[in-house]
Amino acid sequence: MQFRRVSFSASAFFLIVAICQFLFVELNFGRDFIGGTFIEVRVTSGVADLARMRTELGGLGLGDVQLQQFGTEDAVLIRVPKQPGGDAAQQFAIDNVRVALGNEVEFRLGVMEIIPRVSTEFLAQSTIGLMIAILAILIVSWLRFEWQFGLGAMIANVHNLVLTIGFMSLLQIDFDLSSNAALLTILVYSLNDTLVIYGRIRESLCRYKRMTIPDLLNNSLNSTLSRSITTHVTVTLALLALLLFSGHAIRSFVSTMIFDVVLVGTYTSVFIAAPILIYFGVGSTRASTKETTDKRFFHSQD
């Protein structure tokens, strides 16, 4: 448990970096939040010449038209900002784009019009949902374990979410409504991981009445280690397959997920969630023990 000094400092450092990153660089908000009309096209010649398309569309006077390649080389997403005027003005702008690009492209994937207000409301609603879910986790783990475990699980979860959002901001991964689902998955996954370790700690607390808390935590982590490794390797294998073979639609989700499973989730469960229990005085109610300064790792099975 000596590592906790290092890991807590490291976590504090990364949390600050993540928060700064989030505050100053902002997330790369995807189409759901910036709004406008989106047209997805496929270039018939095979490879999209973005520079030329940009000049062609720039001359239409539609404001800041953005082009972005996605997925394959021939697929381009065009964003036309909201035009002043009603529906007719939007339609007129789309028609203009159609005419300007002519036969070069195929309007294969349709047009959509998004007003960010709705997405923002939705995000606010989901955030509230997320908070209530975290609170529910706190309560349940309090009931099933002890309050220290509930608090520890909650802190571990928030720690994970903040780091993940920082990561998304760092790599400028599109933040869309579906990113919500990604964050939820991460929340659930790391929660599952943390609770497995907590389960073992709870068990050890009953079993090894005389072991010091740091040793006991160490022991519990060691005995769940091979399970942690096996599970993470399995999930990572599945995620790698998703990353390599699935479409553009969930790629940003999968990369976030891999970051979380491989790095953050595992790290949090072992290096944050478990040692933090020391500070909450877990096991203080059992037969009185005094904290020892013993630094050796303990593997006894009593």
Partner 1 sequence: MLYISPIKALSILLTAFFVCLFAVPNFISKSAIDNWPTWARNQVVLGLDLRGGSHLLLEVDDRDVRGQKLQGLQDDVRRVLRDARIQLVSPPVIRGNSVEVRIRDQDYSRGLTILRELSQPLGGGLNTTGARNLDITEGEGGLVRLTVTEPAILERTRQVVDQSVEIIRRRLDETGLVEPSIQRQGNNRILLQVPGVDDPKMILDIVGKPASLSFRMVDSTMSTEQLLAGPRPPESEIVYGTAATGNIPYILEKRVLVTGAELTDAQPGFDQRTGEPVVNFKFNASGARKFAQATIDGAGRLFAIKLDKEVISAPVIREPIIGGSGQISGSFTLESANKLAILLRAGALPANLTPIEQRVVGAGLGLDSIHKGMTASYYGAALVVVFMVVTYGLFGVFASIAVGVNVGMIFGVLSLLNATLTLPGIIGVVLTIGIAVDSNVLIYERIREEVRTGRSVISAIDAGFTRALATILDSNITTFLAAAVLFFIGTGAVRGFAVTLGIGIITTVFTAFTLTRLFVAWWVRWARPQQLAIS
Q: Which residues bind partner 1 (CB under 8 A)?
A: 40, 87, 91, 108-115, 117-118, 122, 125-126, 128-129, 132-133, 136-137, 140-141, 144-145, 177-178, 180-182, 184-185, 187-189, 191-192, 195-196, 198-200, 203, 223-224, 226-227, 230-231, 233-235, 237-242, 244-247, 249-250, 253, 301
- Nearer to partner 1 (CB atom), residue 7 or residue 179: 179
Compute the distance between CA of residue 29 and CA of residue 119 in angstroms, rounded to an integer: 11
- Nearer to partner 1 (CB atom), residue 19 or residue 111: 111
Residue 42, strand partner residues = 75, 106
What contacts 24+ positions apart, CB below 8 Å, involve 137-141? 137/191, 141/195, 141/198
* Closest distance of CB 99 from partner 1, Å: 17
Q: What tokens appear for 140 in the block?
A: 């349940």
Which amino acid is located at 15 in the chain? L
- Under 8 Å between Cβ of 134 and 154: yes
Collapsed DSSP state (helix, strand, coil) of residue 82: coil
- Nearer to partner 1 (CB atom), residue 144 or residue 209: 144
* Closest distance of CB 227 from partner 1, Å: 4
- Nearer to partner 1 (CB atom), residue 50 or residue 188: 188
Compute the distance between CA of residue 230 and CA of residue 208 in angstroms, rounded to an integer: 26
* Count of other CB atoms within 10 angstroms of residue 202: 18
* Closest distance of CB 226 from partner 1, Å: 6
Q: Could you give the C-alpha distances from 246 to 42, 104, 182, 249, 255, in angstroms and in order?
A: 19, 27, 15, 8, 12
* Closest distance of CB 75 from partner 1, Å: 10
* Closest distance of CB 1 from partner 1, Å: 21
Collapsed DSSP state (helix, strand, coil) of residue 252: helix
Q: What tokens appear for 154 in the block?
A: 């909650």
- Nearer to partner 1 (CB atom), residue 11 or residue 256: 256
- Nearer to partner 1 (CB atom), residue 10 or residue 133: 133
Q: What tokens appear for 258 in the block?
A: 């891999």
* Closest distance of CB 300 from partner 1, Å: 12
